[in-house]
A and B are shown apart, each in its own frame.
Chain A
Amino acid sequence: MHPAPSVIIFTTLSGLGFGLFAFLGLGLPDVSGWVAFVFFAMAYALSCTGLLASTFHLGNPRNAIYAFSQWRSSWLSREGIMAVATLLTFAPVAIGRVFLDMELALLGAIGSVFAVLTVFTTSMIYTQLKTIARWHMPLTPVLFLLYAGAGGALLAGQASLAGVLTLIVTGAQLLAWKQGDGRSTTGDLGAATGLGEIGQVRLLESAHTARNYILDEMAFQVGRKHVQKLRMIATLCVGALPALLLLALPAGHLTALIAVVLHVIGVAASRWLFFAQAEHVVASYYGR
């Protein structure tokens, strides 16, 4: 799949933002006033920037309002609704904590549940696609939730929890890569065309000599050659280095900042791989 910057930024930042919301809703960290303002501003900035980035993926965004209408069948619609519901639920919680020194604990807890559901619905947009075997597995939503949890804990200053979670998400990511590598589906022209029973099938002439939307979007092959290097970078940055910083060194703003920066780089690398490595079954028809 085409690793469009819009979807990489969207899944990376909104995952971090809603992960942070999930902690803030539970009163972690227990702050108020200007400190609370900084935390909520960060959560809103990350999630809103992510959501805004996702709209750059749209060919015709002026119809975007309709995207909230199909919650009964569409995970993308559910994601939109949950994201907005989460952002709205946290508004009174944030106002209470920042300006009124008031704790809306129940609403905060509801907001946390909403934030987790938002990340889950995001993951299901990809998991539901049978056409992309690398995404269509139970580990995909687990991975998205763990990423959001680890990133959220990091941003919420929960140093030891973040250290443990970043290690867990790294393990889950390694497992997902292993599972995904065993699920490569493309290239079976005989199965795709139904002609395999007659004999060996090969592409004689493609349907078009020019590129097209299908090839650009779903038969993307650039950038796969650095897979091993990117996996190494992601493994180190997502979990190993931040965990080392957080668990081995004394807590402090600087170590936390370095851990967050490393983690975000790692998440972005793993998201690039998530898209770039995903093989769509339609590529089979092109003999790829």
Chain B
Amino acid sequence: MTCLPSSTQKKLGLVIDLDTCVGCHGCVTACKGWNTQNYGVPLSDIDPYGADPQGTFLNRVFSYEVQPEGKSAQTVHFPKSCLHCEDAPCVTVCPTGASYKREEDGIVLVNEDRCIGCGLCAWSCAYGARELDRDAGVMKKCTLCVDRIYNENLPEEDRVPACVRTCPSGARHFGNLGDPNSDVSKLVADRGGFDLMPEQGTRPVNKYLPPRPKDEMDVPALKPVATEASGFLGWLDKALGRIPGKGDRLPTKETVQETVQESEKV
């Protein structure tokens, strides 16, 4: 049934650290690698070596530039995948019962044997987390690597989603966000983790940790060591200055200030 469970025993999900993510797209590749060979149909690529290649991905990393007022701009890499929402609209809109949210752990999955590929669930998702596979015609989405996390054939350290396992900067964390004492819940509390688009009313399980405030250099700009040239260099400077044309005179106090002011305007 595509009715949502009133509550789930666990709320498994990801915590994504926007401060430490370096934007390497390793999670994207690991996700595609694991999920193209496991749960459900492969994640197809259409025209992969041709002029107009495209493919299905369950996780994608955007890069944004944030410009705080009066400070240096900063780059924020932004991985985006299914947030396994508690009020998942993608589940309730599904006409066939293919989309469902698991009562035991809160994972949102697609049963491809029921999916008609109508795309309405993708329309209902504010996060762009669902992509219709262009080859198989069924909806693909993050499974939270449901076939890894409970898989006793894998070594214990591998029983986390592929994206988490592969992340080289430790920017992705997996755990039970329904338990306030879990590591991920503590991390969210410590770092002020937030929901994406809370106004959509979806109550995402996944949380994002905001970039830490950047410190500002508390050192004044380098002062010129000499404002008035003397000796041979002074003579040379004056001599060259007499030649008509726009010459670079050694910096004086005035010219240094002008340069600084101009650079601040930019």
Give A contacts to B, CB under 8 Å. Answer: 1, 57-61, 63-64, 66-70, 72-77, 80, 125, 128-132, 189, 191-195, 198-208, 210-214, 217-218, 280-282, 285
Residues of A within 8 A of B211 (CB): 195, 198
Given contacts A70-B94, A210-B52, A282-B128, contact A58 B65 (CB under 8 A): no
* Cα distance, A201 to B4, chains bound together (Å): 34
A210 to B124: give the CA distance in the assembly, Å: 23
List, in ascending order, chain B residues with CB within 8 A of A131's CB.
89, 123-126, 200
Quick check: is B42 within 8 A (CB to CB) of the other chain?
no
Interface residues of B in 183-237 (CB under 8 A from A): 194-197, 199-201, 208, 210-211
Say whether, besides A59-B117, A194-B210, A204-B65, A213 and B122 are in contact (CB < 8 Å): yes
The answer, yes or no, to whether B80 is at the interface (CB within 8 Å) is yes
Are B64 and A213 closer than 8 Å at their CB atoms? Answer: no
What residues on B are CB-neighbors of A210 within 8 Å? 52-55
B256 to chain A, nearest CB (A): 29
A208, chain B: closest CB distance, angstroms? 6
Find chain B residues with CB under 8 A from A57 CB: 118-119
For residues 21 through 73 of chain B, which have their beta carbon under 8 Å from a beta carbon of chain A? 23, 28, 52-57, 60-69, 71, 73
In the complex where A57-B118, A194-B208 touch, is A201 in contact with B65 (Cβ < 8 A)? yes
Please tell me if the beta carbons of A201 and B123 are within 8 angstroms of each other in the complex.
no
Interface residue B134 (Cβ < 8 Å from any Cβ of A): yes
Q: Which residue of B lies closest to A280 (CB)?
A: B123
Question: B122 contacts which chain A residues (CB < 8 A)?
Answer: 213-214, 217-218
Partner of A199, one of B68, B120, B208: B68
Residues in chain B near residue A130, CB distance under 8 A? 89, 124, 126, 200-201
Residues in chain A near residue B15, CB distance under 8 A: none
Once the chains bind, are A63 and B96 in contact (CB under 8 Å)?
Answer: yes
Tell me whether A67 and B96 are in contact (CB under 8 A).
yes
Chain B residues within CB distance 8 Å of chain A: 1-4, 18, 23, 28, 52-57, 60-69, 71, 73-76, 78, 80, 89, 91-98, 113-120, 122-128, 131-134, 136-139, 194-197, 199-201, 208, 210-211
Q: Is the interface of A mostly helix, strand, loop or mixed?
A: mixed
Q: Are B62 and A76 in contact (CB under 8 A)?
A: no
A-B contact count (CB 8 A): 195
Contacts of B118 in A (CB 8 A): 57-59, 67, 76
Known: A195-B66, A201-B64. A67 touches B93 (CB 8 A): no
* Chain B, interface SS category: loop
Contacts of A207 in B (CB 8 A): 28, 60-62, 80
The smallest beta-carbon distance between A278 and chain B, in angstroms, is: 9
* Cβ-closest chain B residue relative to A130: B200
Q: What chain B residues lie within 8 Å of A75 (beta carbons)?
A: 93
Contact of B95 among A70, A191, A192, A205 (CB under 8 A): A70
What CA separation (Å) do A189 and B124 show in the bound complex? 19
B121 to chain A, nearest CB (A): 10
A66 contacts B97, C-beta separation under 8 Å: yes
| B residues less than 8 Å from A202 (CB atoms) | 64-65, 67
Q: Establish whether residues B126 and A63, one from each chain, have CB atoms under 8 Å apart when the complex forms.
A: no
From B62, B74, B75, B125, residue with most partner A Cβ within 10 Å? B62
Looking at the complex, which one of B67, B113, B127, B210 makes contact with A282 (CB distance below 8 Å)? B127
Given A63-B116, A76-B120, A213-B134, A194 contacting B95 (CB threshold 8 A): no
- The answer on a CB contact under 8 Å between B126 and A281 is yes
Across-interface contacts of A68 in B (CB, < 8 A) = 95
Q: What is the CA–CA distance of A59 and B131 in the complex, to the nearest angstrom?
A: 12
Contact partner, B64, options A58, A59, A193, A217, Cβ 8 Å = A193
Q: Evaluate whether A60 and B94 lie within 8 angstroms (CB atoms) in the complex, with A281-B197, A282-B125 already known.
A: no
For residue A64, which residues in chain B have a CB less than 8 angstroms away from its CB? 116
Contact check, B62 vs A203: say whether CB atoms are below 8 A apart: yes
Q: What residues of chain A lie closer than 8 Å to B62, measured between beta carbons?
A: 203, 205-207, 285
Contact B124–A198 (Cβ < 8 Å):
no
